[in-house]
Chain A
Amino acid sequence: MSFPLLTATAALPAIGAVATAAVPAARRTTAKWLALVFSLATLVLAGIALARFEPGGDRYQLTESHAWIKDFGVRYELGVDGIGVALMALTALLIPFVILAGWHDADPSPSSQQSSSRGGPNETKPYRWRPTQGFFALILMVEAMVILSFEATDVFLFYILFEAMLIPMYFLIGGFGDRAHTGSDENAAAQRSYAAVKFLLYNLVGGLIMLAAVIGLYVVAGTFSLSEIAEARASGSLSMATSTERWLFLGFFFAFAVKAPLWPLHTWLPNAMGEATSPVAVLITAVVDKVGTFAMLRFCLQLFPEASKWATPVIVVLALISIVYGALLAVGQRDIKRLIAYASISHFGFIVLGIFAMTSQGQSGATLYMVNHGISTAALMLVAGFLITRRGSRLIADYGGVQKVAPILAGTFLIGGLATLSLPGLAPFVSEFLVLVGAFSAYPAAGIIATTGIVLAALYVLVLYQRTMTGPVKAEVQGMADLKVRELVVVLPLIALLLFLGVYPKPLTEIVNPAVQHTMSDVQKKDPQPEVEAAK
């Protein structure tokens, strides 16, 4: 038996989480370094997996399969296609930056020491559960579960991970709030709890509905194995009644649409991203939410191709609403982090649109979009976090003229913003244009409506930049320090990657294309022929 690379890639951060949590209370710095080293080692493993993945080879590669719960045929079955391996690599790539950006986010703050007698969930006894160790251990735990969920080819295994990752996320949101808040500490703690529980409830409800569908699927198919079900469906030995397929599809899709999130199930995201620290916000939108869109591609389309096509008109409309609505809401925000959250909702609309356009360009674009959105949002959100930490406020109106005092911070913020508005030359342009073209060739009207997103994106990004960075220097901004070495180490590689994937996305498209072709044949769809060729 060969070395179980996929298991190792997921196990390493899990071991790291345990190790980090075990570090004694006084050795905070050791815990941080330990977490960083584990995340980097995971990145190396993910890199190896990426290198060993052969784009032209089998659909699922690096597979592992072991019996787990024999009674119901639940297997520990792993394997990655091009989409899975790309997202796995993205996750492994982002976590070290998340850890490094959040280096001081879980340090005991002077205010929490003073106010330890006050109420509020995590300020009651700040040292009881070693917050620093806990913070980094939880991040690694999320990484382990997300990576494994990208690898799982057993529906039940995937479901367990899909639900289980809520637990560490809940504690990350509720336990470690952004210290920049308005109003009293108690008020902030209440808002944080609200955000965390809202996150949890939305996702739990989605998960419960999915659980019903998972069980239903087992009843119909007699197995949880993705490949077995797909094979049986292709050979005709497993046929589903139309209504059964549709109900099961809806059960899966609902859970993924909560997680993605798709309008109107999106309202938990701005709360969660606003209240969480910036690195955790990145973890939510750039990493965890991707599981939702990934699962739409892998499970919805592959298991229920007919139902997927049946639901497409509605889903395309919801995606379009997300795009335009999210962007308009972003324009109207007064809080920097909530603005980025709504921008993400708009971007998730693009991803879903690309997936359900069911064209090669749309789906390749959607997969690239997941990766590129992860990188660009990480860049923008983390710089925003550095800015917010300096000033102690999330309100846009509290800033002004930052470029004069901190030009590098302003410059990197602008690049992150330009990536968010999909400027050609940066990675997100490639994916956004592919999604637009893919959507347009299937549904011209949808393509045109989605195009308005590019104007609105310019509006919310440039207004944010103008209000915070330009104009006369505000008194409170005076003397603000520019980015430090640690912060530059976080931001510069992300920017380099945005540039590289914007100019030369070929390494990524080569991996993704074959997987998309498989999905296209799952749903038995062919790309619309160009008019001129069709006429011949």
Chain B
Amino acid sequence: MENLIALLVAAPLLGAAVLLCGGRRLDRAGHWLGTLLAAVSFVIGVVLFLDMLGKGAEDRTLHQKLFSWIPVEGFQADVAFQLDQLSMTFVLLITGVGTLIHIYSIGYMEHDERRRRFFGYLNLFLAAMLILVIADNYLLLYVGWEGVGLASYLLIGFWQHKPSAATAAKKAFLVNRVGDMGLSIAIMLMFTTFGTFAFGPVLEATGETSEGKLTAIGLMLLLAACGKSAQVPLQSWLGDAMEGPTPVSALIHAATMVTAGVYLIVRSGAIFNAAPDAQLVVVVVGAVTLLFGAIVGCAKDDIKKALAGSTMSQIGYMILAAGLGPIGYVFAIMHLVTHGFFKAGLFLGAGSVMHGMNDEVDMRKYGGLRKYMPVTFITFGLGYLAIIGFPGLSGFFSKDKIIEAAFAKGGTEGWILGSVALLGAAITAFYMTRVMLLTFFGEKRWQPDAEGHEPHPHESPKSMTIPMIILAFGSVFAGGFFSIGDRFLNWLEPVTGHSHGHAPVSATTVTAATMVVLVIGVAIAWTMYGRKPVPVVAPRGSLLTRAARRDLLQDDFNHVVLVRGGEHLTRSLVYVDHTLVDGVVNGTAASMGGLSGRLRKLQNGYARTYAVSMFGGTAVLIAATLLMRAV
């Protein structure tokens, strides 16, 4: 059975190779091939899953070693896979949602002449993401980690002729590279500490080293997670990444790739458990980001950017949960999976709306779309109810658990974290209700575009609505299914461990409080956007609104400090290199060799004679020395 693991990766990798090298002949069938291979990977995943279910909880982990990758003295890096319950969860999420989004893209990208290449990139993404979650060591994980970064780069910049898309793609890759520095350093630290970076040996040996080392490793891993999962301070790329085609936003920038940071932290649980300082930083990052993303999400009029803010915020919840240690690991992953369903569904819904609205993204120019796109409205609506945590739907179970766990952290910390999580829930209810009202309710606000074409909103084709319906199904039922009899907890506990913490308040109280803040959030949004007509041009807004529209000024900071500062630095270095370094070295050489006069002549084009004489000189010198020795 373990021999199937490599096939999980091989199928989409083959697809990527064939589609990207195949040329125009494959244009007519390429999207079918890509979708088929994604589905093959999903089927293999299901087969492995069923096999895993048939075994006892303790011997469910499968290993497959393919070959020794970089064998150098003292350094052992293998291409080897490990499939346990945690990896399995991701495999099903990635290939399942991945396949649905392949199907959706068949319709969504129908009129794009480079559709074949799009599917090649999607397949490449699947392969890299699968490597990331089934690698059995950190270095191979790194390959997947950068592989998804590459796929993300290629897909954000898919419409490269748009300068904004090309810039966004570059930005995403660069910010991620800052995170990758963290991952590199973490791996180097593991190597010098443990002599290895394979999961098994490292995670078992955490007791044998100092807490300081583990804290350092943990913080470096967190840096990596911040880059990939768009957490403060490396969050700035995610909003721009919405330049990519919407299926990409759904798959990569909502459901799977951006959650890789959560995977990394949960996978490295043993390290964080032994490094409380690192854990503290993790929860702080999570808590800050969950508010940051939520605030940004409130202010955006671009439907995709509002959802991107939401993604950031929801991943903040997961990181927060992961930082809580064994109290939170399972719930971080559970929220990750339910979020995968409803957020992918919401993005596909947004894509469907844009598809019917001539690619308009400004929600102020939507309005009343529920009549025109009933299926999109219902599936998006279910996703909406799920994300705000409407009782009984997926988000209700998974988010509620994280809020409970935050309180269960105990002490002042617990109260602060729990309150932040509650506040986040209120803001989530607000901004999602806002999106819902602006898009589907109220009067129609769209106008003819510059060329006089009025949008004719219409429902999308079946290839797009069916994946939306399936994801809506997951948004409604997954949370309940996971929670009945603690199914999800029992499934993951052997890998991640679990503890209940010391909750200062009962679970019922937390749930009740969550319900109250939910109602408040929805009510405020309704007063602002439901009761009265929405202006097509955004009002100036408060200082906070204006800052939030600009991603809370982080881009402005980056621009002034890093971009401008960097430009000045490189420009002055170019000058220094040209005048100072070159000049000093030339000058030293000239004064030492008495060559100054000749050096000046170099510019005038008669240098060849001079060079020949130099050669002559050297030759004479060599001959003379040899002779002297001989005599």
Task: List residues of chain A with CB under 8 Å of any chain B CB.
Answer: 69, 71-72, 119-121, 163, 167, 170, 174, 186, 189-190, 193-194, 196-198, 200-202, 204-205, 207-208, 211, 215, 218, 263-265, 267, 325, 328-329, 331-333, 360-361, 364-365, 401, 403-404, 418, 423-425, 430, 433-434, 436-437, 440-441, 444, 447-448, 451-452, 454-455, 458-459, 462-463, 466, 469-473, 503-506, 509-510, 513, 516-517, 527-533, 535
State in angstroms the CA–CA spacing of A471 and B189 once bound together: 41
Complex interface bits, B168-209 against A, C-beta within 8 A gives 1, otherwise 0: 001001100110110011011101111110000000010011
Please tell me which one of the listed residues A186, A424, A454 contacts residue B181 in the complex, with CB atoms under 8 A apart: A454
CB distance from B74 to the nearest CB of A (A): 5
Residue B629, interface by CB 8 Å: yes
User: For chain B residues 595-613, which have a beta carbon within 8 Å of chain A?
Assistant: 595, 599, 602-605, 607-608, 610-611
The answer to whether B618 touches A207 (Cβ under 8 A) is yes
Please tell me which one of the listed residues B147, B180, B209, B584 contacts residue A532 in the complex, with CB atoms under 8 A apart: B209
State in angstroms the CA–CA spacing of A183 and B394 once bound together: 67
CB distance from A497 to the nearest CB of B (A): 16
Q: 4 new A-B pairs (CB below 8 Å) besides A205-B589, A509-B72, A510-B71?
A: A163-B618, A189-B605, A433-B184, A441-B192
Q: Main secondary structure on chain A at its contact with chain B?
A: helix
Residues in B with CB closer than 8 Å to A506 are 67-71
The answer to whether B174 touches A462 (Cβ under 8 A) is yes
State in angstroms the CA–CA spacing of A533 and B201 once bound together: 12
Known: A360-B72, A430-B70, A458-B173. A329 touches B146 (CB 8 A): no
Please tell me which one of the listed residues A198, A328, A517 contacts residue B573 in the complex, with CB atoms under 8 A apart: A328
The answer to whether A458 touches B188 (Cβ under 8 A) is no
The answer to whether A361 touches B75 (Cβ under 8 A) is yes
State in angstroms the CA–CA spacing of A409 and B180 once bound together: 28
Residue B355, interface by CB 8 Å: no
User: For chain B residues 117-162, which have a beta carbon within 8 Å of chain A?
Assistant: 139, 142-143, 145-147, 150, 153, 157, 160-162
Residues in B with CB closer than 8 Å to A200 are 611, 614
The answer to whether B191 touches A441 (Cβ under 8 A) is yes
Please tell me which one of the listed residues B174, B189, B602 contacts residue A459 in the complex, with CB atoms under 8 A apart: B174
The answer to whether A190 touches B184 (Cβ under 8 A) is no
22 contacts between A and B (CB under 8 A): A72-B630, A174-B608, A194-B603, A197-B607, A201-B595, A204-B614, A215-B629, A267-B585, A329-B577, A332-B570, A361-B72, A440-B185, A454-B177, A454-B184, A458-B173, A458-B177, A463-B170, A470-B160, A470-B166, A528-B192, A530-B192, A532-B193
CB distance from A522 to the nearest CB of B (A): 15
Interface residues on B, range: 35 or more
The answer to whether A190 touches B605 (Cβ under 8 A) is yes
The answer to whether A451 touches B602 (Cβ under 8 A) is no
State in angstroms the CA–CA spacing of A10 and B385 once bound together: 75
Residues in A with CB closer than 8 Å to B509 are none
Residues in B with CB closer than 8 Å to A444 are 192
State in angstroms the CA–CA spacing of A451 and B180 once bound together: 9
State in angstroms the CA–CA spacing of A504 and B208 once bound together: 33
Output the nearest chain A residue to B157 by Cβ-Cβ distance.
A470
Residue B626, interface by CB 8 Å: yes
State in angstroms the CA–CA spacing of A527 and B574 once bound together: 38
The answer to whether A325 touches B602 (Cβ under 8 A) is no
Residue B163, interface by CB 8 Å: yes
Known: A194-B602, A423-B150. A530 touches B160 (CB 8 A): no
CB distance from B291 to the nearest CB of A (A): 28
Residues in A with CB closer than 8 Å to B73 are 360-361, 364, 513, 516-517, 527
Task: List residues of chain B with CB under 8 Å of any chain A CB.
Answer: 67-75, 79, 139, 142-143, 145-147, 150, 153, 157, 160-163, 165-167, 170, 173-174, 177-178, 180-181, 184-185, 187-189, 191-196, 205, 208-209, 213, 566, 569-571, 573-574, 577, 581-582, 584-586, 589, 593, 595, 599, 602-605, 607-608, 610-611, 614-615, 618, 621-622, 625-626, 629-630
The answer to whether A331 touches B566 (Cβ under 8 A) is yes
State in angstroms the CA–CA spacing of A451 and B139 once bound together: 15
User: Which of B67, B192, B625 is the most central at the interface, judged by chain A CB atoms within 10 Å of its CB?
Assistant: B192
Output the nearest chain B residue to A163 by Cβ-Cβ distance.
B618
User: Which of A120, A190, A516 is the most central at the interface, judged by chain B CB atoms within 10 Å of its CB?
Assistant: A190
Known: A424-B146, A470-B157. A434 touches B166 (CB 8 A): no
User: How many Cβ-Cβ contacts under 8 Å join chain A to chain B?
Assistant: 216
The answer to whether B150 touches A193 (Cβ under 8 A) is no
The answer to whether B178 touches A455 (Cβ under 8 A) is yes
Residues in A with CB closer than 8 Å to B70 are 430, 433-434, 505-506, 509
The answer to whether A462 touches B170 (Cβ under 8 A) is yes
State in angstroms the CA–CA spacing of A430 and B173 once bound together: 20
Residues in B with CB closer than 8 Å to A533 are 195
CB distance from B170 to the nearest CB of A (A): 5
CB distance from B440 to the nearest CB of A (A): 36
Output the nearest chain A residue to B618 by Cβ-Cβ distance.
A204
The answer to whether B607 touches A193 (Cβ under 8 A) is yes
State in angstroms the CA–CA spacing of A400 and B629 once bound together: 62
Output the nearest chain B residue to A331 by Cβ-Cβ distance.
B570
Known: A121-B608, A454-B177, A509-B70. A201 touches B589 (CB 8 A): yes
State in angstroms the CA–CA spacing of A446 and B577 once bound together: 23
Residues in B with CB closer than 8 Å to A447 are 185, 188
CB distance from B465 to the nearest CB of A (A): 33
CB distance from A319 to the nearest CB of B (A): 16
Please tell me which one of the listed residues A202, A328, A424 contacts residue B570 in the complex, with CB atoms under 8 A apart: A328
Please tell me which one of the listed residues B146, B191, B586, B605 contacts residue A530 in the complex, with CB atoms under 8 A apart: B191
Residues in A with CB closer than 8 Å to B142 are 424
CB distance from B133 to the nearest CB of A (A): 16
Residues in A with CB closer than 8 Å to B75 are 360-361, 434, 437
Residues in B with CB closer than 8 Å to A264 are 581, 584-585
CB distance from A343 to the nearest CB of B (A): 13
CB distance from A454 to the nearest CB of B (A): 6
State in angstroms the CA–CA spacing of A208 and B69 once bound together: 43
State in angstroms the CA–CA spacing of A360 and B208 once bound together: 25
State in angstroms the CA–CA spacing of A205 and B618 once bound together: 10
Residues in B with CB closer than 8 Å to A504 are 67, 69
The answer to whether A455 touches B143 (Cβ under 8 A) is no
User: Which of B72, B205, B593 is the most central at the interface, judged by chain A CB atoms within 10 Å of its CB?
Assistant: B72
Residues in B with CB closer than 8 Å to A437 are 75, 187-188, 191
The answer to whether B194 touches A532 (Cβ under 8 A) is yes
Residues in A with CB closer than 8 Å to B595 are 201
Output the nearest chain B residue to A533 by Cβ-Cβ distance.
B195
Q: Which 10 A-B pairs have the closest CB atoms?
A: A530-B195, A332-B570, A470-B166, A360-B73, A470-B160, A424-B143, A267-B582, A440-B188, A332-B574, A197-B607
Residues in A with CB closer than 8 Å to B68 are 506
The answer to whether B605 touches A119 (Cβ under 8 A) is yes
Output the nearest chain B residue to A325 by Cβ-Cβ distance.
B573
Residues in A with CB closer than 8 Å to B74 are 360-361, 527
The answer to whether A441 touches B147 (Cβ under 8 A) is no
